[in-house]
Amino acid sequence: MDGRTTYEAQRGVHTVTADLVDDVFRRLQQEGFQEIALEFAKENVEQIRFSASSTDLHNYWDEENLSVFATRNGRTVSTVIKDPASIDQAIIRLKEVALRTPENPSFVSINREQQTYGKGMASHFQSTDLKDLQDAMINGSLAAGAERAAGLIYNRNSEITVRTSYNECQFSTGGVEGVIRAFKGPFTGQEAQHFGFSTSPTGKTFEEMGSEAAATASATSQMSEINPGKFRVLLSPYVMGNILSYSSGFLSYYAVETGLSCFAGMLEKEVSTGEFSLYDDPADYSGVGSRMCDDEGTPTSRLEIIGRGKLKSYLHSTSTAIRAGTRTTGNAGIISPRAWQLSLNAGKTSLEDMLEGLENGLLINNAWYTRFQDYRNGVFSTVPRDGVFLIKDGEIQGALSGIRISDSVMDILKNVTAISRERKRVKWWEEISASTMPYAMVDGINISKAF
């Protein structure tokens, strides 16, 4: 059986039904709530997990959640309902909290304008055989020199209804996500990519992911040592995705207002080089981060955040836009706006030329455990892994371990010297949100010892 047929045979029992949305909306109105935004999300998921180059888990499940945001006399409340049996209790609880909670100065209104929506992508659970994709990744990694491989593949389809006091929007999102980690001796390589509804992931694509992960693990059999200091570093799409995913919260106007953003006061000022342009692109259905409207029913669109090095826009909901004297960007988060699917522009230089031009520096393929020590100045640290190399005259001299990037977002953006033509759709756990990223050459990155 194909994945869809198997899924239908094994799907679980739904916890929330769509017809409860109208009932919850009506009952909230009866309890005196004035502005309401509900989001009903129904997700079908197939998952396959493998380790030691063989399958160890193949699951199917449904998830249905009803997210509630409501206001009562300037007070805001929110909750998530997963069980229809808890609806009565949830509504009572929301009313009790609204009576005790002070007015929320961060909320002005949800979007009251009547909206129109595009067609979007048709809802469908891709009939992709995840076992075939898994085998392609594993075989690709073994053929390229890996000793073993482990990873995950997800196939998701989410049907979402956003209903507010003024608008209703229905759309689908999802696709296939794959991650593989290849092992050779003490060395590892990792690839993690996503494929939205407008793409058709193939065995060849997943075989290439396995091959690339193995190539990283097999790139050297030597270890090198470096002293802490500042280095010219070629950052992979995964590292750029990591840094920009974590930094996207600083682009929210809510973070700017609350003094927790390194981008405060930088609108229309240079924050990077002229080659650097960053977008939020939820209208790109080639990725799994696509979305037709935000949490308050505002249509989403491609938003230029940084254009040719200058900060062009913060992320806005209706409330933050009113306070800033501008218009919402379709990024609600009603209280704290957020990015949906980041996209960093392709550059002019090939990856091969960038690597050949690296006379003395580092190549970092991945990073995790990213933590910020100073939100206001964007100071953070992150631990490189799965392909960290010392480069001299464009050649790998050896692998590095036990190092840490200890720098600031603003310094890294300002010191970008080149961006690759090649890009990848990257996504990995909470470390990298669904995005499209190139390689970037950055001068003067501070490297310290991790242990």
* pLDDT tens-place string over residues 296-318: 999 999 999 999 999 999 999 99
For the stretch 141-175, pLDDT in tens is: 999 999 999 999 999 999 999 999 999 999 999 99
What are the φ/ψ torsions at residue 427 (nearest 5 degrees)? -165, 135
Cα 398 to Cα 223: distance, rounded to the nearest angstrom: 5
pLDDT for 9 equals 35
Instruction: State the residue range of the domain holding 75.
Output: 3-215
Q: What is the mean pLDDT of residues 356-381?
A: 97
Indicate whether 225 and 133 sit together in one domain.
no
Cα 155 to Cα 131: distance, rounded to the nearest angstrom: 11
Radius of gyration, alpha carbons of the chain: 23
Domain boundary among the residues 215, 233, 253 is at 215
Domain boundary among the residues 195, 215, 235 is at 215
Tokens of 326: 């501008």
Indicate whether 205 and 223 sit together in one domain.
no
Share of the chain above pLDDT 90, in %: 90
- Please state whether beta strands 360-364 and 229-235 pair in parallel, antiparallel, or not at all (unpaired): parallel
DSSP track, 376-410: TTTEEEEEE-SSEEEEETTEEEEE--SEEEEEEHH
Provide the CA 139 distance to its chain's centre, in angstroms. Answer: 28
For the stretch 122-134, pLDDT in tens is: 655 556 899 999 9
For the stretch 242-273, pLDDT in tens is: 999 999 999 999 999 999 999 999 999 999 99
Domain boundary among the residues 183, 215, 247 is at 215
Cα 174 to Cα 298: distance, rounded to the nearest angstrom: 20
pTM for the structure as a whole: 0.94
Tokens of 86: 């808890």
pLDDT at 118 over 90: no
Query: Which 3 state secondary structure label does DSSP give 138?
Result: helix
Mean pLDDT over the full length of the chain? 94
Tokens of 443: 């001068």
Indicate whether 75 and 135 sit together in one domain.
yes
Which residues lie below 8 Å from residue 331, measured CB to CB, with a gap of 6+? 252, 280, 294, 300, 303, 315, 316, 317, 337, 338, 339, 340
Indicate whether 50 and 148 sit together in one domain.
yes
Indicate whether 294 and 181 sit together in one domain.
no
* Count of the separate structural domains present in the chain: 2
Indicate whether 432 and 288 sit together in one domain.
yes
Which residues lie below 8 Å from residue 382, measured CB to CB, with a gap of 6+? 239, 242, 243, 367, 368, 369, 370, 371, 404, 405
Provide the CA 36 distance to its chain's centre, in angstroms. Answer: 27
